[in-house]
């Protein structure tokens, strides 16, 4: 089974009907020299994929998905057969994989694969490599290191999108590793309750309370670190309430991803950057994989084992539901990392 992308969506939220489930025509018996046959076990659905569903080139440097072709995203797979050097049947791999239950990967596609060491995980599922121990976890860990540090004990940190894949790791690290006072925002009361259970000092539902008032109450003396997953008016509010020398990790702007350019929110109070000497810096995780990837894997595995960072997942069963899983994630249906379970480990 494969899931194909139908056509560009530039000015509305993506819907389940934008995806097409199709029988795939892969013949495992027909593997050619240099090719690898991979069975997909888990698939990641991520906000950055939204950029590849637009006609224009997204902020991400890879081009848009092709109409009528399978989508692709981070995945975990099991090598079923190999006629390529470097891979053997039984290897567990992660990397950019097509949304197909079985895929034949040529040499170029193999270049995007990494062999995994499942023993790093103990009894945890391999899907952790798509979340806390994978790209989103690395995003949180490395961007705090590169942009928010140095951090003083007791500084006030605010994380938006706090109950999502990146936000949960960022908030827990800021609290348990750096000793910050951490405030989180998320889009439901259940998510807010979970954040408090995980040790966030304050949390609020941005859909039911006013963000400016909630931040004023939670941080009367202002915010030192803002981990921004949402952009838009929330960023504007934080600029007003930031303290001098605040650091803002510009990680994502999901509140803007479904809007056409002319409707994107124009943040009006950037002069705060100057008067308060705020550092606001953008970040793309892939820039740091070579430099920090190995250190990240070891450190985060330790944090998870020690319970400093709890790994949460929201699992959708079946590759045929991958489009639905993406749509639901964009609408806030996930708590923790949104993954699709395609086949048993």
Q: Which residues bind ligand NDP (CB under 6 A)?
A: 46-48, 136, 139, 161, 163-167, 186-188, 191, 229-230, 251-255, 283-285, 329-330, 332, 334, 338
Name the minimum Å distance from CB 273 to ligand NDP. Answer: 19
Structure tokens belonging to residue 58: 């997204």
Q: How many residues make up the chain in this entry? A: 345
**What are the angstrom distances between the C-alpha of 15 and each of 255, 312, 313, 327?**
17, 25, 22, 6
CB-nearer residue toward ligand NDP: 293 or 332: 332
Name the minimum Å distance from CB 302 to ligand NDP. Answer: 21
CB-nearer residue toward ligand NDP: 36 or 71: 71
The half-sphere exposure of 224 on its side-chain side, counting CA atoms within 13 A, is 17
Q: Can you tell me whether residue 3 is helix, strand or coil?
A: strand
CB-nearer residue toward ligand NDP: 173 or 251: 251
Name the minimum Å distance from CB 253 to ligand NDP. Answer: 6
Name the minimum Å distance from CB 113 to ligand NDP. Answer: 19
Name the minimum Å distance from CB 24 to ligand NDP. Answer: 27
CB-nearer residue toward ligand NDP: 101 or 139: 139
Closest by CA position to 39, among listed 84, 93, 83: 93
With tokens 């994630």, the residue in question is 329
Name the minimum Å distance from CB 299 to ligand NDP. Answer: 18
CB-nearer residue toward ligand NDP: 5 or 204: 204
Name the minimum Å distance from CB 265 to ligand NDP. Answer: 10
CA angle 182, 186, 187 (to 5 degrees): 165
Q: Is 85 exposed, middle or buried (0-12, 13-18, 19+ CB in 10 A)?
A: exposed
DSSP-derived secondary structure for 12-81? S---GGGEEEE-----GGGPPTT-EEEEEEEEE--GGGGGGGSSSPPSSSS-PPPTTSB-EEEEEEEEEE
Name the minimum Å distance from CB 132 to ligand NDP. Answer: 11
146 DSSP 8-state letter: I
CB-nearer residue toward ligand NDP: 110 or 335: 335
CB-nearer residue toward ligand NDP: 70 or 187: 187
CB-nearer residue toward ligand NDP: 73 or 241: 73
28 in Cβ contact with 103 (< 8 Å): no
């Amino acid at each position: 089974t494969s899931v194909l992308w139908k056509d560009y969506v530039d000015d509305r939220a993506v819907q389940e009907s934008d995806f097409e489930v199709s029988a795939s025509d892969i013949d495992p018996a027909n593997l050619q020299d240099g090719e690898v046959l991979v069975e997909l076990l888990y698939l990641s659905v991520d906000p950055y994929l939204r950029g590849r569903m637009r006609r224009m080139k997204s902020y991400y440097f890879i081009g848009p998905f092709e109409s009528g072709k399978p989508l692709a995203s981070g995945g975990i797979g099991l090598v079923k057969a190999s006629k390529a050097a470097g891979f053997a049947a039984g290897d567990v791999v992660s990397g950019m994989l097509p949304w197909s239950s079985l895929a034949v990967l040529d040499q170029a596609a193999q270049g995007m694969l990494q062999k995994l060491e499942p023993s790093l995980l103990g009894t945890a599922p391999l899907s952790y490599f798509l979340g806390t121990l994978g790209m989103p976890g690395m995003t949180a860990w490395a961007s705090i290191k590169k942009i928010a540090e140095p951090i003083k004990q007791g500084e006030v940190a605010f994380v938006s999108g706090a109950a999502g894949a990146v936000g949960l790791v960022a908030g827990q690290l800021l609290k348990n590793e750096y000793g910050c006072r951490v405030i989180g925002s998320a889009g439901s009361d259940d998510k807010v309750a979970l954040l408090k259970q995980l040790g966030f000092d304050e949390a609020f539902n941005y859909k039911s309370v006013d963000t400016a008032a909630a931040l004023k109450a939670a941080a009367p003396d202002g915010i030192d670190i803002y981990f921004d997953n949402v952009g838009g008016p929330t960023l504007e509010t934080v600029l007003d309430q930031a303290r001098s020398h605040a650091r803002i990790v510009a990680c994502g702007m999901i509140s803007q991803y479904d809007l056409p350019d002319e409707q994107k929110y124009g943040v009006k109070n950037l002069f705060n950057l100057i008067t308060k000497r705020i550092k606001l810096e953008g970040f793309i995780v892939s820039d740091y994989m070579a430099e920090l990837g190995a250190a990240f894997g070891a450190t985060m595995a330790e944090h998870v084992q020690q319970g400093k960072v709890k790994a949460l997942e929201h699992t959708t069963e079946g590759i045929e539901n991958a489009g639905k899983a993406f749509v639901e994630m964009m609408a806030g249906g996930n708590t923790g990392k949104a993954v699709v379970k395609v086949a048993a480990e």
